[in-house]
Structure 1
Amino acid sequence: MGITDFFSDVWESFSVPSPDAEAPPQGGTSTDTPASGTDEQSNEEAEVNKQDAKEEGEGEQGHKPSGGDDDEEEEEEEEEEPQDPKDVLEKECAESKACHGPKHHYDECVERVTGQIENDGKASEDCVEECKFSTATATWCAAPKLFAQLK
């Protein structure tokens, strides 16, 4: 075995197979039962389904946990997740005097761009910078209050 054979063997062992390669067949096929994922039923399945249809009117289907109260389940479903204090604080800061300037610039930009779209069908600018600055200002304002709550 020469050096080139060595390197070609190493290359083949570490290389990723081509995505075009065919995958080996998985599982076997059976001619006795219908194929998986089809609407066909075997004889056994048809009998069981008929029995289930007859028993359908005899009561509730499914498993009902024993000893559980329905009231407890309803209370758990009604509980809401606590609201994130960061979102609340940022909203308050966005409406405060500290963020009035950046928010005012953003609102003016939105009006200007909306007017351009209505008149020309397209806008020559966007309000990305104003939006980022307004959001960053609200986050900067809310940060000390948020960390004070977390302590």
Structure 2
Amino acid sequence: MGLFDYLSDALSSLPFSHDVDAESVRGGASSGGSPAGAPKEGSKEADVNAADAKSGGDDSTGHLPGSSKNIDTEAEEDEDDEPKDVKEELEEECAQSKQCGGYKHHYDECVERVTGQIENEGKANEDCVEEFFHLAHCATQCAAPKLWKQLK
């Protein structure tokens, strides 16, 4: 008897057998009754449900998305509670100001040029990213001291 035979006999004698029945799922789907763990329906509730079933219910479908019957005004009130962010307003004012006028002029010219290229040729040969960044940088630099002054 060789070493291989000895090891195979030793392994076959160990209880590694796979019992399919032991691992099968107990329970399953049933066509009637309540789900496991759900409370049983009381007699009053059963009577009301039976009456609804006979009368056809009130045919209400509940809340439909987009319907405005029950608008929650609490959400609207919460929006008013938050302080207004003035950063965008300050940057817009600065972008329109004389301080950033040159950058705004270059950006507007670029937008006109690119829009014309798209209308005439169907595609643009350039974009206005660089001009936009220059304008945004100028507006941010202009708005920063004003914003800090308001925050203090």
Could you tell me the TM-score, scaled by structure 2's length? 0.55
Measured after TM superposition, the shift of residue 128 of structure 1 is: 0.3
Q: Which of the numbers 44, 63, 66 marks the counterpart of 2:34?
A: 44
Where does residue 23 of structure 1 map in the other structure?
none
Measured after TM superposition, the shift of residue 82 of structure 1 is: 2.8
Where does residue 118 of structure 2 map in the other structure?
117
Aligned equivalents of 1:52 and 1:85: distance in 2? 59
Q: Is the radius of gyration larger for structure 1 or structure 2?
A: 2
- Cα deviation code 1:92-143 (max 9, x no counterpart): 1111111111011000000001111111111111000000111111000000
**Helix, strand or coil: the match of 1:97?**
coil
Where does residue 126 of structure 1 map in the other structure?
127
Aligned equivalents of 2:95 and 2:33: distance in 1? 67
- Cα deviation code 1:25-49 (max 9, x no counterpart): xxx563244xxxxxxx64337x779
- Report % sequence identity: 55
Measured after TM superposition, the shift of residue 87 of structure 1 is: 1.1
Structure 1: tracts of 5 or more residues without a match? 1-27, 34-40, 62-72
Aligned equivalents of 1:54 and 1:115: distance in 2? 66
**Helix, strand or coil: the match of 1:123?**
coil
Aligned equivalents of 1:53 and 1:136: distance in 2? 70
Structure 2: tracts of 5 or more residues without a match? 1-24, 36-40, 63-71
Measured after TM superposition, the shift of residue 148 of structure 1 is: 0.9
Where does residue 30 of structure 1 map in the other structure?
27
Q: How does 1:2-151 map to 2 (within 5 A)?
A: 30-33=27-30, 42-44=32-34, 51=49, 54=52, 74=73, 77-78=76-77, 79-80=79-80, 81-151=82-152
- CA 42–129 in structure 1, closer or farther in 2 if over 3 Å, else same: farther
| Amino acid aligned to 2:49 | Q
Aligned equivalents of 1:99 and 1:42: distance in 2? 74
- CA 54–142 in structure 1, closer or farther in 2 if over 3 Å, else same: same
RMSD: 3.3
Paired residue total = 102
**Helix, strand or coil: the match of 1:43?**
coil
